[in-house]
A and B are shown apart, each in its own frame.
Chain A
């Protein structure tokens, strides 16, 4: 993975596969340079046994082959950049993944195209689940909630209709550029 936004796009897929209704993404950049990325869902969660072995590259829910690299790569990228990785899960309740990195560390991946990741998630999951994004950097805070969009648009209109997609792209840009524009991109 070349940047953190791609990790996020990849990891969010786990939440969707777990049947989440709402996927919450939080990104926080502290004054001192610590970056925290949190991914929380209300999906089916993991058993303590699965939770224990899921950071191994040889654990996967996939049946076609025996490797799953998404989570182990995120853990490695967080830990080698002076940060930490934590995964909490409860069956029937959901899962929360927290990865932190020190952006002053030379091994810290860039944040990448966060707007592109959020837009991709919405376009490739056009009717459900909902996504909530909350971001905070020293420049301020921003948020984006697809539940509000669906309330105004009607829940029967998929997000990948071109006119809707264009609106989402512009709305994300307007909301996020002042906060994340020029930061670590």
Chain B
């Protein structure tokens, strides 16, 4: 296994981040990862979010999972919840779409309308 000693330094750095974070700035990304979501490709989408968040060093964003919400034909689906705004649901999300959702919506506050459930044609 990779050196566990590195984790001590990571712990110190991470604790600092956690303490600096304020609840009111928190942004949440919630990805559907039930059987339907996983089969449709939710895993690479989740990993793409983690990668993009790390790349941009976004400390206030957390990624979590949820189960099946009953619209399996739209999977992979995810919600972006920004403080003080209504939640936005994205559908048929592919890893290539993630950098745009992060930069336009999470960083700049403008949902990517064409990817949202509101733009669904069926």
Q: In the docked arrangement, what's the CA distance between A73 and B38, Å?
A: 13
Residue among B18, B43, B54 facing the most chain A CB atoms (10 A cut-off): B43
Given A148-B1, A149-B4, A163-B10 in contact, is the A123-B44 Cβ separation under 8 Å? Answer: no
Q: In the docked arrangement, what's the CA distance between A120 and B43, Å?
A: 7
- The interface bits of chain A over 111-125 (1 if a CB of B lies within 8 angstroms of the residue's CB, else 0) are 001001101100110
Q: Are the C-beta atoms of A165 and B43 separated by less than 8 Å?
A: no
Tell me the B34-56 residues at the A interface (CB within 8 Å).
34-35, 38-39, 43-44, 46-47, 50, 53-54
Q: Are the C-beta atoms of A149 and B50 separated by less than 8 Å?
A: no
Q: In the docked arrangement, what's the CA distance between A154 and B10, Å?
A: 10
Tell me the B1-46 residues at the A interface (CB within 8 Å).
1-2, 4-8, 10-11, 13-15, 17-18, 31, 33-35, 38-39, 43-44, 46
Q: In the docked arrangement, what's the CA distance between A57 and B53, Å?
A: 37
Chain A residue total in the interface (Cβ 8 A) = 42
Whether, in the assembled complex, B57 has its beta carbon less than 8 Å from a beta carbon of chain A, the answer is: yes
Q: Are the C-beta atoms of A162 and B2 separated by less than 8 Å?
A: no
Tell me how far the C-beta of B39 lies from the nearest C-beta in chain A, rounded to whole angstroms: 5
Tell me how far the C-beta of A144 lies from the nearest C-beta in chain B, rounded to whole angstroms: 7
Q: Are the C-beta atoms of B53 and A162 separated by less than 8 Å?
A: yes
Q: Are the C-beta atoms of B47 and A163 separated by less than 8 Å?
A: no
The interface stretch among A23-31, A46-54, A93-101, A169-177 is: A169-177
Tell me the A44-98 residues at the B interface (CB within 8 Å).
62, 64-65, 68-70, 73
Whether, in the assembled complex, B84 has its beta carbon less than 8 Å from a beta carbon of chain A, the answer is: no
Q: Are the C-beta atoms of B54 and A166 separated by less than 8 Å?
A: yes
The interface stretch among B62-70, B85-93, B98-106, B112-120 is: B62-70
- Complex partner residue of A65 from B44, B62, B70, CB under 8 angstroms: B70
- The interface bits of chain A over 147-171 (1 if a CB of B lies within 8 angstroms of the residue's CB, else 0) are 0110111100100111111110011
Q: In the docked arrangement, what's the CA distance between A13 and B66, Å?
A: 11
Q: Are the C-beta atoms of B38 and A10 separated by less than 8 Å?
A: yes
Q: Are the C-beta atoms of A2 and B39 separated by less than 8 Å?
A: yes
Q: Are the C-beta atoms of B38 and A123 separated by less than 8 Å?
A: no
Q: Which residues of B contact A144 (CB under 8 A)?
A: 1
Given A153-B11, A164-B14, A167-B10 in contact, is the A117-B43 Cβ separation under 8 Å? Answer: yes
Contacts A157-B11, A163-B54 given; 7 further ones with Cβ under 8 A? A9-B38, A117-B43, A123-B47, A153-B10, A160-B62, A162-B50, A164-B10
Task: Give the interface of B toward A (CB within 8 A).
Answer: 1-2, 4-8, 10-11, 13-15, 17-18, 31, 33-35, 38-39, 43-44, 46-47, 50, 53-54, 57, 62-65, 68, 70
Considering the complex of A and B, which 9 residue pairs feature the smallest CB-CB distances, nearest first?
A: A171-B2, A162-B54, A152-B4, A124-B65, A152-B7, A153-B7, A70-B35, A161-B14, A163-B10
